Amino acid sequence: MEVTLRRTAAAIARNNNGLRPAAAALTAAPSSRHFSLSSLTRPPPNYPGHVPLTRIEKAALAIGSGLMSLRDPRRGDLIAAFAEATATPYFIYRLRDAMLASPTGRRILRDRPRITSTSLNLPHLRSLPPGSVGRTYVAWLDREGVSPDTRSAVRYIDDAECAYVMQRYRECHDFYHALTGLPVVREGEVALKAFEFANTLLPMTGLSVFAAATLKRSERKRFGDIYLPWALRNGLRAAEVINVYWEEQLERDVGELRRELGVEPPPDLRDIRKREREERRRRKEEQAARDGGV
């Protein structure tokens, strides 16, 4: 048996030595050329859940998700994908640098807290005094019927620290709602996105402002007359809201925090919309009464 194996090995060696030069060159090609199949292999992820993309793939993701999210602004997954695809190479680094320039921002980056219903202890927030940041926040969650546990995980930003910055911005969004009092109706979301764009410069927030074109005529007029000027004025003059360590502000007076940040609450949109509905109902009733009396 051993003799047979040795003869077989010798025969294979003779055959390899007899390869034609061209064939030998082909077998050596992968090591002598710049391109190889290995160059098509994706790099390993930089953090759990990370999906590395090429520049072409990021461009395709940005265009596709941007167009589709304009068509259906309720698709949070598309908005999240567009935000990540357009945040690099500049905007998310600018936001990260703004955090690094702030002592509080640096602590947030070091601690990397997450905002969830568990980490915030929502039942405890409901027991805080009225007018506190925590009570205002949880009251807004309860009124709007939303939860902090629904924010998508960041997947398409390559730098792990910048991915956390995007995650932090995403999870703080409901605090911005509570800070300004804007509801989650489309009109309120567009107004808040305009505020966020002026404050963060993230392209996704700027694109979202174009959703104002989908509002009703009266809502578009109100947005242009009231909420867009408010958003730009307050977003530009306010401190970087990404640097607020919300977990440490829960027991503070919300009015005090607003003054410290330089954020002036806009007119109550829910109250305005309620008055408009009541006015339309009154007119319909008057019209019905007139028609009935004819």
Per DSSP, helices labelled H in the chain are 2-17, 21-32, 55-71, 76-87, 91-100, 103-111, 117-120, 122-126, 133-144, 160-180, 186-200, 203-209, 217-222, 228-237, 254-261, 269-293
Backbone torsion region of residue 12, taken as left when φ is above 0, otherwise alpha when ψ lies between -120 and 50, otherwise beta: alpha
Positive or negative CA dihedral for 105, 111, 112, 117?
negative
Judge whether 52 and 45 are in contact, CB under 8 Å. yes
The answer to whether 77 is a known ligand-binding residue is: no
Backbone angles phi, psi at 212, to 5 degrees: -60, -25
The answer to whether 50 is a known ligand-binding residue is: no
Count Cβ atoms below 10 Å from residue 81 Cβ, excluding itself: 22
The answer to whether 177 is a known ligand-binding residue is: yes
Nearest CA among 122, 158, 154 for reference residue 138: 122
* CA–CA separation, 248 and 256 (whole Å): 14
Specify binding-site residues for Zn(2+). Answer: 173-174, 177, 189
Specify binding-site residues. Answer: 173-174, 177, 189
